[in-house]
Amino acid sequence: MNRRLVEQLCRLLGVLALLVALVVHWRAVRAVDAGVPTRRVVRLVEDAGPDSAGRALAAVREALLAGAANAAGAAGAAEPRDGQASRRDTLALPLATVPDAAVRAGLGSVQTSGVPLLWLDGTMARGVAASVTRAAVPGAPLDVRVAASAGTSLTLADAGGVLDSVATPPLVTTWRLRNAAPPLRVRQGRHAISLPVPDSGAARRLLVLAEPGWEGKFVVAALEEAGWVVDGTLRVSPTGRVTIGAPARLDTARYAAVVVTDSMAVDGAALRQFVARGGGLLLGGDALRIPGLAALRPARATELRGAIAGGLLTSSPRSGLEAWELAMASDALVLETDQSDHGHDEPALVARRVGAGRVVAMPYRESWRWRMQGSDDGMAAHRAWWQGAVALAVPAVRRAMPMAPDRYPGDRAPYADLVARVGRPAPATREALGGDAGGDVGRGVGDIPFVLRPWVLLLTALLALLAEWGSRRLRGAR
């Protein structure tokens, strides 16, 4: 190649590098004059390791400390102009897992401090939340409910291994488990929620108030067979009582619920206080006609509905029991219905809330006939009916989970908590990470492409002009 042509190319390259450096500098000066802050995008965690969230927070701390030191040095050199925004680096965090509560709180603090923060979602968890409850009755199963977005498989496991998995979960997935080895883990993508397992059974007792007779006897038997420890008081005369177990003063710490089966005289004021403090009350049959419980009952008994002959031996055995027609209270809720011989549904279980407790009522009289005169499974069905009615009166057992001391969702929904604190994840695009379309006019040194950085351009111009000058001197030209 002709030496003169090489010299011309070197001269052209040097001049072009100088022109580009001037343009880059002019754009930065114009941005400062217009009051547009120069932002710098910092990619803190490039890999998708399981501990990326913790290392991300450590990198955030380092970036903030470095930014504070730079800001302090710059403040000593020159004061910012009026109306000019101070420089804030945009911190971009690729997260492979949903961080724990401490890291989420730290990222939220960074966001609220005014430092722009973006995070890239690599968790494959699009808002999973879970709960575990168990009815406060002996032998009750675990009710596991998981709300998650469709498209990502769900896995349920305990300490012993995987229990079940769903490839395409619905909006809400429900499992019923007889028991599980704590803790329960719900996994979606790379994200998992750990849930404590509520204790099995009810630690408190039941108190049964009844008149001596078949109904009180077999209700107590059914509840004891279901696993309850039952205390009872059977009133045999205005002043005489027969006790079962060791009846004590009504207290929610001792008794989970009170069961009243007959139209006997009861202490209405004591029952009202018990329910208001969080106890359960179950009223069966004639107990709906006790005047002292009028303020508590969810329905009023009006007239008696006769039993259907032979109904105890059919697939609808409760049709063979006498029952009261019910006039519902305004705030009562029908929990279960039975179809009557008139072709319409009759309330079978009715409930209302009183204070912190619940009152459940059933209209059936002499339910012992179902147990003693029903079909072969009458005993088990009678026991399950009373067990289920008591479970409705007693609040479900929930293990306390750490809750955020503020308005955030907390550990019950970690992904939602992260979004609430830091915002929605950003798409991994140039604009979302602070490119030109995102409002950045000037760029920090670390974000300008390598070939456009000032020192690279100046070094290129110097080398090109030096090469052109040296070539001309070697061939004897000026």
In the chain, % helix, strand, coil (3-state, to 5) comes to 35, 25, 40
User: What pLDDT shows up at residue 64?
Assistant: 60
List, edge to edge, every strand of the sheet that includes 154-158: 161-166, 154-158, 184-188, 191-195
Confidence of residue 273 (pLDDT cuts 50, 70, 90): very high
DSSP reduced 3-state for 15: helix
Instruction: Give the mean model confidence (pLDDT) for residues 273-287.
Output: 92
Q: How confident is the model at residue 196 (pLDDT cuts 50, 70, 90)?
A: confident
pLDDT reported for residue 437: 38
Do 433 and 303 share a domain, yes or no?
no
Whether pLDDT at 364 is above 90:
yes
Least confident interval from 308-317, 318-327, 394-403, 448-457: 394-403
- The values of phi and psi at residue 158, to 5°, are -125, -165
In terms of pLDDT, which residue wins out, 187 or 427? Answer: 187
Query: Is 270 in the same domain as 383?
Result: yes
465: tokens are 């002009």
Helices (H), 44-134: 52-77, 101-112
Higher pLDDT among residues 414 and 434, named by residue: 414
Partners of residue 4 on adjacent β-strands: none
Distance CA 329, CA 467 (A): 99
Do 112 and 173 reside in the same domain of the chain? Answer: no
Mean pLDDT of the chain: 78
Give percent of the chain above pLDDT 70. Answer: 75
Task: Name the strand (E) or helix (H) holding 9.
Answer: helix 3-33
350 in the same domain as 424: no
Q: Are the beta carbons of 317 and 375 closer than 8 angstroms?
A: yes
pLDDT at 208: 92
Quick check: is 56 in a domain? Answer: yes
d(CA 200, CA 5): 90
- Of 393, 423, 449, the one marking the end of a domain is 393
The pLDDT value recorded for residue 438 is 38
Residue 398 lies in a domain: no
Residues 320, 251 share a domain: yes
In this predicted model, which residue has the larger pLDDT, 160 or 46? 160
Above 80 in pLDDT, residue 244?
yes
Report percent pLDDT > 90 for the chain: 19
At residue 465, the pLDDT reads: 86
Alpha-carbon distance of 3 to 105, in angstroms, equals 65
Model pLDDT, residue 284? 92
Dist CA 67 CA 89 (whole Å):
8
Average pLDDT over residues 96-105: 78
Helix (H), strand (E) at residue 220: helix 214-225
- Residues in CB range of 390: below 8 A, 6 or more apart: 137, 206, 223, 228, 256, 257, 259, 280, 282
* 168/384: higher pLDDT: 384
The average pLDDT across 46-51 equals 51
Distances (CA, A) of 295 to 96, 186, 291, 354: 56, 44, 9, 9
Specify if 173 maps to a domain: yes
Of 414 and 206, the one with more pLDDT: 206
**287 and 157, same domain (yes or no):** no
Q: Which residue has the tokens 């500098």?
A: 25
Tell me: pLDDT of 279 over 80.
yes
The whole-number average pLDDT for the span 139-154 is: 80
Q: Are residues 241 and 339 in the same domain?
A: yes
What range defines the domain where residue 297 resides? Answer: 205-393
Q: Are 260 and 367 within one domain? A: yes
Identify the weakest region by mean pLDDT among 37-51, 93-107, 247-261. Answer: 37-51
Residue 61, pLDDT score: 67
Take residue 442 and report the two structure tokens written for it.
């000037």
- Of the three residues 181, 200, 219, the one that is the final residue of a domain is 200
Domain final position from 142, 176, 200: 200
Mean pLDDT of 197-218: 82
Q: Is 408 inside a domain boundary?
A: no
Note whether 247 and 140 are same-domain residues.
no
What pTM did the predictor assign?
0.57
User: Among 24-38, 282-296, 323-337, where is mean pLDDT lowest?
Assistant: 24-38
Residue 461 one-letter amino acid: A
- The CB-based long-range contact list for 238-247 (8 Å cut-off, 24+ gap) reads 238/265, 242/212, 244/208, 244/220, 245/205, 247/207
Rounded CA-CA distance 212/362 in Å is: 20
Residue 136 Cα distances to 143, 178, 200, 259, 413, angstroms: 12, 14, 8, 15, 24
Place of tokens 């002292």: 292
pLDDT of residue 100: 77
> Are residues 177 and 217 located together in one domain of the fold?
no
Into how many domains does the chain fold?
3
**CA distance to 55, 101, 105, 108, 437, per residue, from 112 (Å):** 20, 16, 10, 6, 24
